[in-house]
Chain A
Amino acid sequence: MPSMNFFFHLGVMAGITYLVRMLPLVLVNKKIRNRFLLSFLYYVPYAVLSVMTVPAIFYATSSPWSALAGFVIAMILAFFEKSLLTVAIFSSAAVFVTEFLLPIIQ
């Protein structure tokens, strides 16, 4: 059974995420014309995803070397615009193979 503290965090998180989506839908009926605001909201998802990925990705596996291998494979496949699933699977496979080979090489 999750703690009270967890439910408190969950409630705050879910409440804010919901309000951010629901309020404009219920209250606003005009289109946003402010170019700065539109541009800011365009860039935010890319900036958020990037700062969450680097450097965290290099600590996501049990060795920095396997993480590096997974990162390089992900970058190559993403560059050629492979699907999210393809990139994820081959990136994971690169980590698995590297971690299998590392003890043999060292």
Chain B
Amino acid sequence: MKENNSFILGIKHGIPICLGYLSVSFAFGIFAVGSGLSVIEALLISMFNLTSAGQLAAVPIITGGGGIPELALAQLIINLRYSLMSVTLSQKLGKTVSALDRFWIGFGITDEIFAVSTSKNKSVGRKYMFGLILTPYAGWSLGTLLGSVAGNILPDSVSSALGIAIYGMFIAIVLPTVKKHLPTALCVVGAIAIGCAFKYIPMLSRVPDGFVIIIAAVVASMVAALLSPVSDEESEQTDEKEVNTDA
């Protein structure tokens, strides 16, 4: 397999991801300061985590005084999918990638970076990976900074309107697949039903939000995986589509 090891090409492939991340992290910044975190706290979370769903789930746990076990388990479950991506990416790393390089490449695996780095029929080198991770990372950090500052200075009517932005993006990720793949649709409906049960049934509503996400996602995904296992092609199609959505 030929190896792609151009830093410039990595930067170039990272730009569409960077632009997508600017807006998602801007929305995260707004959400974080709206929930009571400071600008520097929101920025630190983005700079050390680089994961939208995990970060969004963490904010209410941190501001609500949630425990460490809840936070740890929530991050583990929500980010577990990265393990699979890491395994897949490990097959694509070229000869220029040393054992040590794998430690920093591991930090930069996101849905989009994974999809781009594994979608070409070439192995990827260390310089290429550095460029491909650097640009989105810069966008993710900068967007968070801008969003959290904006959340502090914008009028309430604008902050309120922007508060829905990150949820709009989540809908934009989920709905196109739900529309085409019935088992995903049923999985999504099941997860929401479980989540709502925990929120609105008095006995269950004492369970912290972080655990509700874990329980709902694990149960719905396990049932869906048992009843309707996906083929290799289906999971690969999704990855390519996610890149197109952001680009």
Q: A residues bordering B, Cβ < 8 Å?
A: 1-2, 6, 8-10, 12-14, 16-18, 20-26, 28-32, 35-57, 60-62, 66-67, 70-71, 74-75, 77-79, 81-93, 95-96, 99-100
Q: A43-B220, A92-B161 are in contact. Are A17 and B75 (CB under 8 A)?
A: yes
Whether the Cβ atoms of B195 and A51 lie closer than 8 Å is yes
Partner pick for A46 among B156, B162, B163, B177, CB 8 A cutoff: B177
Whether the Cβ atoms of B168 and A52 lie closer than 8 Å is no
Partner pick for A14 among B48, B195, B238, CB 8 A cutoff: B48
CB of B68 to closest CB in A, whole Å: 6
Q: How far is the CA of A17 from the CA of B54 in the complex (A)?
A: 8
Cβ–Cβ < 8 Å partners of A100 in chain B: 157
Whether the Cβ atoms of A78 and B176 lie closer than 8 Å is yes
| B225 interfacial by beta-carbon distance below 8 Å | yes
Whether the Cβ atoms of B86 and A12 lie closer than 8 Å is no
Whether the Cβ atoms of B68 and A9 lie closer than 8 Å is yes
Q: How many residues from B make CB contacts under 8 Å with A?
A: 103
Whether the Cβ atoms of A21 and B83 lie closer than 8 Å is yes
Whether the Cβ atoms of A13 and B171 lie closer than 8 Å is no
CB of A20 to closest CB in B, whole Å: 5
Q: B residues bordering A, Cβ < 8 Å?
A: 19-20, 23-24, 27, 38, 40-41, 44-45, 48-51, 53-54, 56-58, 61-62, 68, 71-72, 75-91, 99, 102-103, 105-107, 109, 111, 156-158, 160-179, 183-184, 187-188, 190-192, 194-196, 199, 212-213, 216-218, 220-222, 224-226, 228-230, 232, 234-235, 238, 245-246
Whether the Cβ atoms of A91 and B168 lie closer than 8 Å is yes
Whether the Cβ atoms of B175 and A78 lie closer than 8 Å is yes
Q: Please give me the residue from chain A that is nearest to B38 by CB atom.
A: A2
Q: Please give me the residue from chain A that is nearest to B99 by CB atom.
A: A26
Q: Please give me the residue from chain B that is nearest to A77 by CB atom.
A: B172
Q: Add 8 more A-B contacts to A14-B49, A89-B165 (CB < 8 A).
A: A6-B62, A26-B99, A28-B87, A35-B229, A38-B235, A41-B80, A62-B156, A78-B175
Whether the Cβ atoms of A57 and B167 lie closer than 8 Å is yes
Whether the Cβ atoms of B164 and A21 lie closer than 8 Å is no
Whether the Cβ atoms of B20 and A85 lie closer than 8 Å is yes
Q: How far is the CA of A47 from the CA of B174 in the complex (A)?
A: 9
Whether the Cβ atoms of B164 and A91 lie closer than 8 Å is yes
Whether the Cβ atoms of B102 and A74 lie closer than 8 Å is no
Whether the Cβ atoms of B187 and A20 lie closer than 8 Å is no
Whether the Cβ atoms of A61 and B174 lie closer than 8 Å is no
Q: A45-B53, A99-B157 are in contact. Are A36 and B195 (CB under 8 A)?
A: no
Whether the Cβ atoms of A47 and B172 lie closer than 8 Å is no
Whether the Cβ atoms of B160 and A55 lie closer than 8 Å is no
Whether the Cβ atoms of B84 and A32 lie closer than 8 Å is yes
Whether the Cβ atoms of B225 and A48 lie closer than 8 Å is no
Cβ–Cβ < 8 Å partners of B76 in chain A: 16, 20
Whether the Cβ atoms of A70 and B164 lie closer than 8 Å is yes
